[in-house]
Amino acid sequence: MLEGKKIILGVCGSIAGYKSATLVRLLVKAGAQVQVVMTKDATGFITPLTLSTLSKKPVLVDYYKNDTGEWNNHVELGLWGDLMLIAPASANTMAKMATGLCDNLLMAVYLSAKCPVYFAPAMDLDMWKHESTQTNVAKLVKYGNTLIPPGSGELASGLSGEGRMSEPEEIVDFLSTEIKKKLPLNHKKVLVTAGPTYEAIDPVRFIGNHSSGKMGFAIAAQLVKLGADVTLVTGPTALKSGMGIKRIDVTSAAEMLEACTANFPNTNACVMSAAVADYTPVTVASQKIKKQDAGFNIELKKTTDILKTLGGMKQPGQVLAGFALETNDEEQNAIGKLQSKNLDFIVLNSLNDKGAGFRTDTNKITIIDRDLQKTVYDLKSKDDAAIDICNKVTALLTA
């Protein structure tokens, strides 16, 4: 949820400032860009050098740089951030936030911020419980800021109770959950298939195809960005799935069928992009077949059509999409597949289009829906093609 997000992290004067190092590291690890803004008091608890090293950006403390006089533009910073997080938020800083007192760079950035603001208080038990602090917290929430509640435990004073800043891992989880709540596919479960299947001939050899799985993996990653809970059933591939994806590895068409039929009933949508084998050997040799005769025949039988099976299981409200990779009569074949398998839309691509098909980083797709409305897209990266496909899924699920 935090990948690519631009985060302004405000660090205030508090013993909990040492947690800021871990917080910055976790945010950067999650793929966020982090700009740290510190109060002068905060630099007494943790050095700007530490946080600049972890964030890979200069830490800002003053309105301007003493050596050059260059202005640290708080207005630009307020526009830059996708979200602002003040952690630790001291009682002093929260009082300034509540009253609009602006006597340092952090407060100037806060008052200029156009993005959502989160604050994680850190102070001793009596300070946290004091009526003035609670009044300021209530004001901040009323202003539209989001409180990340403090935890309970041993405090720096030696007392034990509420007031300690939430742990960095808890803050990252909190931010991810809050961001996900606002995404269009939050609480939606989507099943995606990807890659080839391998149909064993003997312990060494198999029948397979050239699918790399890139398209399905790109779709799964984009669905996560839209807030969906994604289950990815993938055939053999060297690709790595990203965070937030429940991955199920399979080898054969029969294994993919089992995984899909087990997971499909509990999903809101399914995008079947895997290149599943249409045929599998009738008999699998228990030992490696030796090369002897000039000719060699393998008897094959049809595999179960997974897409058609799911189409027969589909309930009202579920969205089911398939792929059609064609070499001739492309549109006619795709429409036939769309209608015979009870799909909501089909993604057509042709091996006649340069840059489309297996083992490429690009794809050229046409989406045809059940009303036979056709949308033709230009050649794009598979990541961008995934956006088009997932936008169609989103439109159907949120209609």
Known binding residues for CTP: 278, 288, 323, 337, 341
**Residue 209 catalytic?**
yes
User: Quick one: tokens of 82?
Assistant: 């996708």
Q: Give the SS3 label for residue 194.
A: strand
Q: Please name the amino acid found at residue 345.
A: F
Q: How far apart, in whole angstroms, are the C-alpha atoms of residue 112 and residue 118?
A: 14
Catalytically annotated residue among 72, 73, 209, 342: 209
Q: Give the SS3 label for residue 97.
A: helix
Which distant-in-sequence residues (6+ apart) come within 8 Å of 42 by Cβ? 11, 12, 13, 14, 17
Binding residues: 278, 288, 323, 337, 341
Place of tokens 């803004």: 37
* Among 79, 76, 101, 108, CA closest to 10: 108
Burial class (CB in 10 A: 0-12, 13-18, 19+), 296: exposed
Place of tokens 């938020």: 89
Residue 316 Cα distances to 53, 259, 268, 313, 342, angstroms: 53, 21, 10, 10, 12
User: Quick one: tokens of 340?
Assistant: 């015979």
Count the Cβ atoms, other than its own, within 10 Å of residue 329: 9
- Alpha-helix residue ranges (DSSP H) falling in 238-289: 253-263
Q: Give the SS3 label for residue 28.
A: helix
Burial class (CB in 10 A: 0-12, 13-18, 19+), 222: buried
Q: Please name the amino acid found at residue 207.
A: I
Active site residue ranges:
209
